[in-house]
Structure 1
Amino acid sequence: MDLRHLRYFVAIAETGSVTVAAERRLHISQPSLSRQIRDLEEELGVKLFTRGARGVELTVSGHAFLDHARLALLQVDTATEAARRAAQPTKQAFALGFLTGHEMIWLPRVTQVLRDELPNIEVTVSSGYSPDLAEALVSGRLDVAFLRAEPGFDLEYQIVSKEKLIVLMPSDHRLTARTAVNPVELAAETFITATNRAAVLRDVIERYLLENEVDIAPEHGVDNLAMAVSLVASTRGLALMPEYVTNLLPWSVVSRPVQGAAPTINLVIGYSASNSSPVLKLFLSKVEELIATDSAWGSRHSIINLMKA
């Protein structure tokens, strides 16, 4: 008896027909299949099938043999898969998180610095709010995240970029005539700011307004850039938001820089010091290269803007 006999027997038992099993399941001739089953029955010394009006039916011995045959085939398939997995070890997992919108900027750069190792790494990518990313790092659901330096979390942070804040406004707003917006002019407008959910950004905005002696009572609060853009368009308000939001603007919203020194907010990579992932260690060894790609991109971006001016 060999595995072929078991597979042939199970195929006939499940289809109830020698013809169907031969043509549709096993792709062999019917006489050959019948001969193989006769050989199996002779070896076992019992009849496995009887012929009836509806085709072949299992005998009592056939019913008893079927469950064991299925189990034997399942064990063989399991053993085969285990051997294949052993020959091709599972790739190491590496979970990346991004502050929503930053994946468009930073994911290509991460893949660039890890390009030689990517064939051996199973990378997963997610995006979300900064506090949620920090929680995912602490819980081990993420290995590395591009986020804000959230206070209150036992994480390591390293600055990768300083983002300028810019003014968002409706595309037909009077201040679009300015090449840069004086912060004092914000006081006369409906102002949209960040909520406690985006506390790091909110603190940067409040500190900037205080330093410039601009007294504003914000009329709307947002916890993400998409909401900020929507409120600017719908309320005709103004907002101070990180510069990368320009990648997400519809035609109805435009941006302008502020006059003088612009406020900045740090984008950091965060990770847990207790994470022993070798891929994380490799990634951290290439952070300087990653920062260098950002500097190079920033230089190209400045040249493009000058050409457009």
Structure 2
Amino acid sequence: MELRHLRYFLAVAETGSLTVAAQQRLFTSQPSLSRQIRDLEDEVGAELFSRSARGVELTAAGKAFLDHARLALTQVDAAIEAARRAARPARQVFALGFLTGQEMTWLPRAMQLLRDELPNTDVTVSSHYSPDLADALARGKLDLAFLRAEPGFDLDYRVVSSEKLIVLMPSDHPLAERTAISPRDFVGEPFIMASNKARVLHDVIERYLRESGVHVSVEHGVDNLAMAMSLVASTRGLALMPEYARNLLPWSVVSRPLAGDAPSVDLVIGYSRSNASPVLKLFLSRAEELLAPLATAPH
């Protein structure tokens, strides 16, 4: 079994189509891809896909094989990245990632922790969706990220802040006259929900609405804050987002707190315990300093 077999298998599993996987993901011919999949099934000793006119679907054996195939490729990518880093010149590289929008608060604090290492370290900074950050950490593309505690990744997390959820709405919405918003106010209003890609936030919101006994009319699912703000403004809907959104709102969108005990979502620093970077080790040894400004700031 070769790595290409695993990559071909994942492409077909994720697209649900041999044709789409061949043309758009793998840039090979469909007959060639079909032969590679048959070779893999012969080696595994089980059918991994069931074929029909509608496309292909994973069999029970295929579903069992899927997670292991993903893990194997993730570990290979991490090994390649580790080897590349080891082969680089002596100057160290430290790759930081941020949940988009959080770098405004946390990048200055992170750089302060690294101040003694900066003359000898190249720090790279990127911002992405939280699941993408977790995947980059697992693959060795990032050393440390500020993100949500994403499930399904072999990572360690430390909580750095807990943010209450607030309500976003158009600036001229009737509810903008209120000082606080009750869950009952969502009834009958278009609701913009965090999508399954933003799994951690989605689950917090879903649990809050369920425990509040409120059924909302979900008009759109969003992956990120920028998309949520755009849809709030354009569809006149309501959205629940973490309170750091206040720093990023356009003139057309305002925020209001939730009445009562508002739910919260954690922001964490995440990293792979197998990462041997000395800069990461130093950062983690000073991580408590990240919270110092928060502890002394007025509320």
**TM-score, structure 2 as length reference:** 0.69
State how 1:108-257 maps to structure 2 within 5 Å. Answer: 108-257=108-257
Shift of 1:256: 0.3
Tell me, in whole angstroms, the C-alpha distance in 2 between the residues paired with 1:237 and 1:201: 18
The residue number in structure 2 matching 1:103 is 103
**C-alpha displacement of 1:159:** 0.5
Rounded to whole Å, the distance in 2 between the matches of 1:137 and 1:161 is 20
Separation in structure 1 between the aligned mates of residue 277 and residue 114 of structure 2, nearest angstrom: 15
- Deviation readout 1:144-166 (Å, 9 max, x if unpaired): 00001110000001111001100
Partner residue in 1 for 2:91: 91
Q: Count how many residue pairs are aligned between Structure 1 and Structure 2.
A: 211
Residue 188 of structure 1 and its aligned partner are, at CA, apart by: 2.3
Report the residue type matching 2:226 in the other structure.
A
Mapped pair 1:279 → 2:279: yes
Equivalent-residue separation in structure 2 for 1:249 and 1:161 (angstroms): 20
Aligned to 2:288: 288
SS in 2 for 1:275: coil
- Alignment deviations for residues 235-284 of structure 1 (CA, whole Å, 9 cap, x no partner): 00000001111111110000000001111001011000000000000000
SS in 1 for 2:169: strand
Q: CA deviation at 1:128?
A: 0.2
Partner Cα distance (1:146, 1:140) in 2: 15
Structure 1 residue 294: Cα displacement: 3.0
**CA positional deviation for 1:293:** 2.4
**Cα distance between partner residues in 2 of 1:180 and 1:217:** 20
- Deviation of 1:198 after TM superposition, in Å, equals 0.4
Q: What is the CA distance between 1:120 and its match in structure 2?
A: 1.9
2:62 corresponds to: none
Structure 1 residue ranges (4+ consecutive) displaced by more than 2 angstroms after TM superposition: 293-296
**How many Å separate the matches in 1 of 2:141 and 2:93?**
11
Aligned counterpart, 2:269: 269
CA distance in 2, matches of 1:182, 1:162: 21
In 2: Cα distance, 1:284 partner to 1:190 partner: 43
**Which amino acid in the other structure matches residue 289 of structure 2?**
E
> What CA deviation, in whole Å up to 9, does each residue of 1:117-153 have, x standing for no partner?
2222210000101111011001101000000111000
Q: 1:113 offset after TM fit, Å? A: 2.1
**Separation in 2, partners of 1:113, 1:98:** 16
Q: Distance in 2 between matches of 1:199 and 1:134?
A: 12
**CA shift digits 1:50-80 (9 cap, x unpaired):** xxxxxxxxxxxxxxxxxxxxxxxxxxxxxxx
Write the distance in 2 (CA, Å) between the matches of 1:180 and 1:278: 47
TM-score normalized by the length of structure 1: 0.67
Q: Which amino acid aligns with 1:231?
A: L
**3-state secondary structure, aligned to 2:239:** strand
Supply the distance in 2 between the matched residues of 1:291 and 1:163 (Cα, whole angstroms). Answer: 14
Structure 2 Cα separation of the partners of residues 208 and 295 of structure 1: 27
Runs of 5+ consecutive residues of structure 1 not aligned to the other structure: 1-88, 303-309
Task: List gaps (5 residues or longer) in structure 2.
Answer: 1-88
Aligned mates of 1:120, 1:294 — CA distance in 2: 29
Counterparts of 1:169 and 1:195, CA distance in 2: 18
Q: What code does the residue aligned with 2:223 have?
A: D
> How far off is 1:91 after superposition?
2.2
Shift of 1:216: 1.3
Give the 3-state SS of the residue equivalent to 1:255 in structure 2. strand
Aligned with 1:95: secondary structure?
strand
User: Partners of 1:171 and 1:90 in 2: how far apart?
Assistant: 53
CA RMSD after TM alignment: 1.1
Cα distance in structure 2, aligned partners of 1:121 and 1:270: 20
Helix, strand or coil: the match of 2:255? strand
Distance in 1 between the 2:262 and 2:120 partners? 42
Distance 1:167 1:229 in 2: 11
